[in-house]
Amino acid sequence: MVEAGTLGAIVKSGGAQYILSNNHVLANEDKLPVGTAIFQPALLDKGNQTTDQVANPVQDRPTLAPRKQQRRLRDSRDRQECHRRPNDPAEGRQARNNHTHRRHRWNEVHKVGRTTGYTTGSVLDISADVNIQYDIGTLTFQGQILIAPDQGQMFSDAGDSGSLIVDRGLGRATGLLFGGSPKSTIANHISDVLTALQIQLAG
């Protein structure tokens, strides 16, 4: 299966390092079994199967599986995927904090993604409940971050899932991008992600 997305961050837990992205990026909505090779660059982006493997899905990853009869989730924490990262320290170069001397408003954010690269935007909502279309159906997420692009650009597009969203003023990670529309972007609160997976951002 050939997928592509964005490696948002390197995280750590219990002395091991992992790569952080989304379930649909690294596990194709729970379809990929544990042990599947993860490549950077992705095979869709002309990665090399012989030389570019960087990780394998971990055993206890969170899933997208419906909790009840209907295919809906009510917890943002099930959106993330955390994979062991056995090698290649060069993979951590995502969403560096571009400090400038300009003063930023509290809601100004930026990210680096696989498709749209570096973009800036503004947080519209920090507690949005949203319907997201997946291959397995429509899933509902509560309490998510909604981001609008700055004028004249898109904040994100297909392939940017997994991007780490960083507050431009504070230089702190605030979200993990996982969905969007042509007019906006949806992200998990990074605090929810780190808490749910019991991990820390590395570095």
Specify the DSSP class assigned to residue 138.
E
Joined together, the tokens standing for residue 154 give 């898109």
188 in contact with another protein (CB under 8 A): no
**Token pair 């924490």 is at which residue?**
77
176, burial (CB in 10 Å: exposed 0-12, middle 13-18, buried 19+): buried
Quick count: other Cβ atoms within 10 Å of Cβ 182?
A: 7
Specify the DSSP class assigned to residue 79.
G
134 in contact with another protein (CB under 8 A): yes
181 in contact with another protein (CB under 8 A): yes
CB 89 → another protein: shortest distance, Å? 26
Determine the size of the site formed for another protein (CB under 8 A): 37
What are the residues facing 109 on neighbouring strands? Answer: 121, 167
> Can you tell me which of 47, 62, 149, 159 binds another protein, judged by CB under 8 A?
159
- Cα distance between residue 113 and residue 140, in whole Å: 24
160 in contact with another protein (CB under 8 A): yes
CB 151 → another protein: shortest distance, Å? 16
The answer to whether residues 37 and 56 touch, using CB atoms and an 8 Å cutoff, is yes
The answer to whether residues 41 and 19 touch, using CB atoms and an 8 Å cutoff, is no
Letters for 33-52 (x = contact with another protein by CB under 8 A, - = none) are -----------x--------
- Cα distance between residue 104 and residue 109, in whole Å: 9
> Can you tell me which of 4, 164, 166, 197 binds another protein, judged by CB under 8 A?
4
83 in contact with another protein (CB under 8 A): no
> Can you tell me which of 36, 52, 125, 196 binds another protein, judged by CB under 8 A?
125
75 in contact with another protein (CB under 8 A): no
115 in contact with another protein (CB under 8 A): yes
165 in contact with another protein (CB under 8 A): no
Binding site for another protein (CB under 8 A): 3-5, 22, 24-25, 44, 115, 124-125, 127-134, 140, 142, 146, 156-161, 177-186
